[in-house]
Amino acid sequence: MGDTAGSTVDVARISAMDAREAARLLKGVRAAALAGDRPPAAPRPEIAESWRRMLAGGVHPDRDARSRMLSAAETEERRQVSPLRELLPVLREGLLPELDEALHIMVVADADGRLLWREGHSSILRKADRLGFAVGADWDEAVVGTNGVGTALVTRRPVQVFSAEHFVSSHHDWTCAGAPVRDPRDGRLLGVVDVSGPLATMHPATLAWVSSVARLAERELRVRHLESLERLRTVAAPLLARLPGRALAVDAHGWTAAVTGLAPAERMPLPKAFGPGRVWMPQLGDCVVEPLPGGWLLRVEEAHGTGAAASRVVLDVSRPRAWSATVYGAAGSWSQELSPRHAELLFLLAEAPRGRSAAELSLELFGDPTRTVTVRAEMSRVRRHLAGVLTHRPYRFAEDVEVELIRPQDPSELLPHSTAPAVVRARLGRTGPWGSAPADVVP
Q: What is the pLDDT of residues 40-91, one digit of tens each?
A: 888 889 999 999 999 888 899 988 777 789 999 999 999 998 999 999 999 9
| Residues β-bridged to residue 315 | 325, 405
Write down the pLDDT at residue 439: 34
Q: Left (φ > 0), alpha (ψ -120 to 50) or beta: where does 393 sit?
A: left
pLDDT at residue 385 is higher than 80: no
Burial class of residue 305, CB neighbours in 10 A (0-12, 13-18, 19+): exposed
Of the candidates 264, 216, 196, 271, the one whose C-alpha atom is nearest the C-alpha of residue 236 is 264
Contact 193, 214 (CB under 8 A): yes
Q: What is the pLDDT of residues 104-135, one digit of tens each?
A: 899 999 999 999 999 998 899 999 999 999 99
Alpha carbon distances (Å) from 419 to 49, 106, 156, 157: 8, 28, 11, 11
| Residues β-bridged to residue 179 | 193
Contact 186, 83 (CB under 8 A): no
Q: What is the pLDDT of residues 182-201, one digit of tens each?
A: 999 888 999 999 999 988 77
Q: Which has more pLDDT, 409 or 14?
A: 409
C-alpha to C-alpha distance for 236 and 5, rounded to whole angstroms: 65
Return the ∠ at Cα 83 (arms to 80 and 86), rounded to 5°. Answer: 85
| Residues β-bridged to residue 194 | 107, 178
The model's confidence at residue 15, banded by pLDDT at 50, 70 and 90, is: low
pLDDT at residue 371 is higher than 80: yes
The model's confidence at residue 332, banded by pLDDT at 50, 70 and 90, is: low
Write down the pLDDT at residue 308: 45
Write down the pLDDT at residue 141: 94
The model's confidence at residue 357, banded by pLDDT at 50, 70 and 90, is: very high
pLDDT at residue 103 is higher than 50: yes
Written as one string, the DSSP assignment of 287-320 is: EEEEEETTEEEEEE-GGGTT-PPEEEEEEE--ST
